[in-house]
Structure 1
Amino acid sequence: MSVRHDWYQSETKVVITVLLKNAADKNFAVEISEKRVHMTADGYELDLKLLHPIVVERSSYKAVPSKVEITLAKETGIRWEDLEEKVIVAAPVKPKAKNWDQLVSEEEKIDEKEAKGETALNNLFKKIYSTSSPEVQKAMNKSFSESGGTVLSTNWNEVGKEKVSVKPPDGTEFREWEK
């Protein structure tokens, strides 16, 4: 738990007033260093990182019934704008929004360039299938499965009328698997 405090200054010193009733009964302790003041007292804590350095040997503290008064000797006679040095926290940089569609199309272009032979052909069929209407997809599925993989049609009007027959490539013949 922290304690309330206030401060004022003159040309030669900075005085910090820590509001703490019966400080002597609360086992208070004060540590003073060149750029820091640390005070504890039965669950209370005050930790200050000073704006400017002080002279530790000429600094002191004392407890009175309602407060602890810490007197810090200034190293130089400059006016302090604040008691503590400000910690500058860099604001998080908001990442730019990603255009996922553009990233996907760039990846597809890379895949198309790298693909060769049968892989390139399969990629072409995947692209046609994924960008087609449900009617075209149905025609492709029916023609491919009924022809044993020898016909791939996108025309549902033609394919939907009757069973698609097997049409092997020129110079080959189609054989049924023996059961």
Structure 2
Amino acid sequence: MSVRHDWYQSETKVVITVLLKNAIEKNYAVKIESKKLHMTADDYELEIPLLHPVVVERCSHKAFQTKVEITLAKETGVRWETLEEKAAPVEVALPKLQTKNWDQLVSEEEKIEEKEAQGEAALNNLFKRIYSTSSPEVQKAMNKSFSESGGTVLSTNWNEVGKEKVIVRPPNGTEFREWEK
């Protein structure tokens, strides 16, 4: 059986309301100890380890048509932050974290890629690595020289490339042709 309970407090008491219809017919029973409350009904059991001690002799409970109201007399006038005392946290030893040297991992990955790449793929990887590790000025020179020369020149020298348009220089034994318009 699913039963809800709620609580409120004053300076001298804590009142717990257990929503339970026809509690008398369900044979409810309440047992109050200094730091614990235990209530049972036909198919219901509630056990609460109390945050602070109570004066058992001054505590009471009463059944109504839709609920059971349990009044606990506070031992001291302390405000309760919660009703229940939480179990003490258990300390667990965590394994020591190892720091990773990300630069070393990247370097190892690049070496693996270099070994796997052959021919044109190896050359493209080399250009990618040069481009990604270069200054913005070198990247600008590479972009300008490659695009203006139709892919026949790749320069990293901005002082040279930045002065004028890069001319097409096809490899020996080949000729450059414009696409027909």
1:122 maps to 2:133:
no
How many residue pairs match? The answer is 114
Deviation by residue 1:72-97 (Cα, 9 ceiling, x = unmatched): xxxxxxxxxxxxxxxx8752213311
Q: What is residue 47 of structure 2 aligned with on the other side?
A: 44
Determine the C-alpha separation between the residues in 2 that align with 1:105 and 1:26. 66
Q: Aligned partners of 2:92, 2:157: CA distance in 1, in Å?
A: 60
Structure with bigger strand share is 1
Structure-1 residue corresponding to 2:98: 96
The two structures have a TM-score, normalised by structure 1, of 0.53
* Runs of 4+ displaced beyond 3 Å: 25-29
Deviation at 1:103, TM superposition (A): 0.7
CA RMSD of aligned residues (A): 3.7
User: How has the CA–CA distance of structure 1 residues 44 and 174 changed in structure 2, closer, same or farther, with 3 Å as cutoff?
Assistant: same
Instruction: Give the aligned residue type for 2:47.
Output: Y
* Residues 105-147 of structure 1: CA deviation (Å, up to 9, x unaligned): 1101111111110011011111111121211111111110000
Provide the TM-score with structure 2 as the length reference.
0.52
Gaps of 5+ in 2: 6-30, 50-58, 60-89
Superposed CA offset, 1:154-177 (max 9, x none):
111111111111111111111111
> Of 4, 13, 21, which aligns to 2:32?
21
CA spacing shift, 1:27–1:128, aligned 2, 3 Å: closer
3-state SS of paired residue (2:32): coil
SS at match of 1:21: strand
